[in-house]
Amino acid sequence: MFSGSIPAMVTPFRDGRLDEGALARLVEWQIASGSSALVPCGTTGESATLSFEEHYRVFDTVIEAAARRVPVIAGCGSNDTATAIRHMQRAKAAGADAALVVAPYYNRPGQDGLVAHFEAVAAAADLPIVAYNVPGRTVTDILPETLARIAAIPGIVAVKDASGDLARVTQHRALLGAEFCQLSGNDDLWLPHAVMGGTGCISVTANVAPAQCAAFAMHCAKGEWAAALALHDRLFALHKAMFADASPAPAKYALSQLHDWFDPEIRLPLLPANEPAQRAVDAAMAEAGIL
C-alpha cells in the first residue's frame, strides 16, 4: 500500500500565521527529492496547535501542491473520536488519499476502546486509514493482538509503529500476514524495521534530508543492505539531532538553515531549538553531507 520515505511534514508559520507559500515550496522540494508520499498535520506538523481552519488549509495546500504526483496521507488523529471523524470527512472531501489516525491520547482508552475508536472513524469516512501507535506520546499502546482486531476493520490498510519495540514487526507479520503494510515511526530504527519486513518510514528526518532518506529507502527495497547500512550510519546523528530538543523545533531550525524562505517559528508550548540542539543539528547535517 505505502512504502519508501514519507516525511511527517512540519507546518511552517510566519508571524503567528500559517505560511502557505513555504508549505507549497516544501511539497515541491519533497517530491523533487524522491519522497514517496506526504503526511501533513501529524505530530511533527504541530497538529495539536492548529485551529480547524488551519488544519484544513494545510490539507488543501498540500493536496493542491502535490497534484496527485504522490499520495497525501492526511493527519486526522485526535483524542476525541468525533473530532477525528470530522477531520476524516474533511480530508476525504479535500482529496486526500488516506488518513493517519493516532491512538487517542490523554483519555487512555483500554484495548476495546481503541478498537471501538477505529471502528467509528473507519465507518464515518470512506478513506484508507494508517493506524498510528506511539505510546510515548499517547500513553495507550496498541498491542499486537489489538492491532489484529483493528486491521480486520474495513479501511484499515497499514500501521505506523513508533513503539520502539522491533519485535512488533515480527509479531504483526505473524498475526496479519506479510502483505499488511508496516511503516516505521522511528528514523533510527528504520533499517532493522525494514530488514524484518517493514516497507518504509513516516519520517521526521526526511523533512531535512529527503533525497538521502529516499535513497536509503530505495536500498532497503532492493535488499542492498550494505549500502543501506552505510547511509544509515551517515544519517544516524541527524536522526538523533531531530530530537535534541522538543520536536519539531530541531527540524524547523534545520530547514531554516537550508532554505532562506523557511522561518523556524514554532508555537507554544514548544520553543525554538535551543543552542545545544542547534549545534547538534549543524554537526549532524555536515556529517550527512547536507550542509
Q: In the β-sheet with 73-75, what is the strand arrangement from edge to edge?
A: 4-7, 200-203, 181-184, 156-161, 129-133, 98-102, 73-75
- CB-CB contact of 78 with 42 (8 Å): no
Q: Which three cell numbers stand for residue 273?
A: 531549538
Q: How far is CA 164 from CA 136, 152, 183, 193, in A?
A: 9, 23, 12, 10
DSSP output for 237-277: HHHHHTTSSSTTHHHHHHHHHH-TT------TTS-PPPHHH
Burial of residue 289, with CB atoms counted within 10 A of its CB: 0-12 exposed, 13-18 middle, 19 or more buried: exposed
Of 105, 132, 252, 253, the catalytic one is 132
Of 105, 160, 252, 253, the catalytic one is 160
Residues in the chain: 291
* 105 part of the active site: no
* 106 part of the active site: no
Active-site positions?
A: 132, 160
